[in-house]
Amino acid sequence: MFSGLCAFPLTPLSNGQLDEESFSRIMARLTAAGVDSLGILGSTGSYAYLTRQQRQRVIQLARQLAGDIPLMACVGSVSGDEILRLAEDAQQAGADALLLSVICYQSLRDEEVYRLFETVTQQVSLPVCIYDNPSTTHFRYSDQLLGQLSALPGVRSVKIPGISGDHDTVKQRISQLRSQLDPGTVIGISGDAFAASGLTAGCEVWYSVCGGLFPRISKQITRAAVAGDTQQVMALSARLEPLWALFRKHGGSLRVIAAAAGILGLTARDNLPRPLLPLPESDLPEIAEVIEPLALE
Amino acid sequence: MFSGLCAFPLTPLSNGQLDEESFSRIMARLTAAGVDSLGILGSTGSYAYLTRQQRQRVIQLARQLAGDIPLMACVGSVSGDEILRLAEDAQQAGADALLLSVICYQSLRDEEVYRLFETVTQQVSLPVCIYDNPSTTHFRYSDQLLGQLSALPGVRSVKIPGISGDHDTVKQRISQLRSQLDPGTVIGISGDAFAASGLTAGCEVWYSVCGGLFPRISKQITRAAVAGDTQQVMALSARLEPLWALFRKHGGSLRVIAAAAGILGLTARDNLPRPLLPLPESDLPEIAEVIEPLALE
């Protein structure tokens, strides 16, 4: 489950309803490319905007479509009780692992987050990955807390945000974090533009938005990383730089990936949950120019 | 609806279930004190942690208990579709107004928030108050956006966060905001420690957490403000300074008010929704010392 490329597909909606056909088309790309695992409902998968029933349906559908590919389902909420219900749902729907996301409304204390992870890992038997993404959840994990959580039975991985800086800086940061974690805890990098530097600095998995739409080039990157071919990793990531530039320009990956899925004919042009709106038509030519060559890879 | 003291009661829970008896006890204090209106489910009312069914039940119960006192219900979610469902529920359950809270998961653009308010005000006939509280919702309203929203038919008030600074600074800020708003839009102050300065600088209503547990002294403050007795407003607020100090010490009002409700015997000691935990026992004597004289007012 926790190695190589973990692809995070979009969850396309149509008028607030799950667009199952479009989701199936996206899933078919990922299974055909042989991604190492799937990260269903994670940020780009819009879990935070979906009802409990919708989330369970996405996992059931993904389970049917994924074949033997391991499936991690994001369960996250402001409410601890809802997280427990979602975790049970995910287990019943056939997920192989949970990506556990604690969203802050009131600021949370470390002990509150610890107790929540403790309760979930006691109640559910699936392995758990910690979702560390302060830009969306507004919770900042200290290394100390990550260390405490990693010692809970069941916690197997942490998905960390991208780290800026040169190779040595990133390597030092990963080593520092690893020294706090329970041995064997898998560190996975996210923030796609930072994936190459994370992977070459010791992260063992790429929790990848890009991989959710462009799985072939993404898999080439993780394969080169496993082979220790740093030059190839950096060269492939450099080819994706125009995509990273679009993510920066549009304040994150989701709206760009949603537009790209529409341009590629996988989904309707408007596939986002409200209140999110699709990017305006005037932004589409630039996105098309960047993604069409990537889609042919 | 939009004047004087709008009291925001706690929504006490017990093992994740609504504690209706405790809620009724809190409501009885507020109706006995003759608060001008009630702000049900708003931040201290823990809306963000409750299911759709729980929220509807709170409004129904509050409606039964409130008599003739106008009732504003907070409807808020990350999801726009869920906000629409909650707004319908609130209307059906007998709310007189909506406090509309848009919670950010992905960062939101002004246009996205505008379209959401437009849709809600088209679908629901209740007057709407804009919930501007970036510390919990992570959305920052510009004055320009507040102005545009206030021009929507149905938008009647904005609940603003506390403003720091001396009297002239606060007055200037309120005037500046008012110049952007549709005429007749009611500006309500929140952030209890800043209420006195907001009220004396031109805010017409106090959206008050303190008023949700200590309605008598809170009502004295708004009554003095209406009478233009600035000195009395400031003197009464100064008596509450030890409570404001507790709010600062414990990172906000919710955990303090929850502890206070337990100390006063209105609720169980543990009345918060998970993942929130009650303050430790060791914090309770200091809180008791501050609140017991206030409860006797």
Query: Cβ of A254 and B108 within 8 Å?
Result: no
What is the reported pLDDT for B297? 66
* Candidate list A131, A141, A207, A219, residue with the active-site label: A131
* Closest to A244 (Cα-Cα) out of A265, A267, A221: A221
The confidence band for A43, taking pLDDT boundaries of 50, 70 and 90, is: confident
- Does the active-site annotation cover B49? no
Q: Which residues of B are annotated as a binding site?
A: 44
Contacts A105 to B, Cβ<8 Å:
48-49, 103, 136-137
Nearest CA-CA partner of A288 in A256, A270, A263: A263
- pLDDT, mean of residues A76-92: 98
Burial B37-69 (b: 16+ CB within 10 A, else e): bbbbbbbbbbbbbbeeebbbbbbebbbebbeeb
Q: pLDDT, tens digit, for every residue of A16-29?
A: 999 999 999 999 99
Q: Examine residue B275 and say whether the peptide bond preceding it is cis (omega within 30 degrees of 0).
A: yes
How confident is the model at residue A276, as a pLDDT?
A: 98
Q: Rounded mean pLDDT of A53-81?
A: 98
Q: Name the helix (H) or strand (E) containing A13.
A: strand A13-14
Binding residues of A for pyruvate: 44
Q: Which residues of A are less than 8 Å from B252 in CB distance?
A: 106-107
Task: Write down how long chain A is.
Answer: 297
CA distance A208 to B225: 56
Q: Among this protein's residues, is B131 annotated catalytic?
A: yes
Given this model, what pLDDT does residue A293 score?
A: 87
* Interchain contact, B276 vs A108, CB within 8 Å: yes
The pLDDT of residue A126 is above 90? yes
Facing residue for B78 by CB, picked from A48, A112, A252: A48
B48–A78: do the CB atoms touch at under 8 Å? yes
Residue A295: band (very low, low, confident or very high) from pLDDT cuts 50, 70, 90: confident
Asked whether A142 and A177 are in contact (CB, 8 A), the reply is no
- Chain B residue with Cα closest to A113: B275
Among A274, A279, A282, most B C-beta atoms within 10 A, so best to mutate, is A274
- The answer to whether the pTM exceeds 0.90 is yes
Contacts of B80 in chain A (CB under 8 A): 49, 273-276
Burial class (CB in 10 A: 0-12, 13-18, 19+), A88: middle
Average pLDDT score over chain A: 96
pLDDT one digit per residue (tens) for chain B, 297 residues: 899 999 999 999 999 999 999 999 999 999 999 999 999 999 899 999 999 999 999 999 999 999 999 999 999 999 999 999 999 999 999 999 999 999 999 999 999 999 999 999 999 999 999 999 999 999 999 999 999 999 999 999 999 999 999 999 999 999 999 999 999 999 999 988 999 999 999 999 999 999 999 999 999 999 999 999 999 999 999 999 999 999 999 999 999 999 999 999 999 999 999 999 999 999 999 999 999 888 766
For A133, the closest chain B residue by CA position comes to: B105
Coil, helix or strand for B70? Answer: coil
For chains A and B, what is the number of CB pairs under 8 angstroms?
Answer: 100
Domains in chain A with CATH codes: 4-229 (3.20.20.70)
For B291, residues 6+ apart whose C-beta sits below 8 A from its C-beta are B213, B214, B243, B260, B263, B264
Q: What is the pLDDT of residue A294?
A: 85
Which of A49, A105, A141, A159 is labelled catalytic?
A159
Chain A residues whose CB is inside 8 A of the B43 CB are 106
ipTM (interface predicted TM): 0.96
Q: Can you read off the two tokens belonging to residue B212?
A: 């949700």
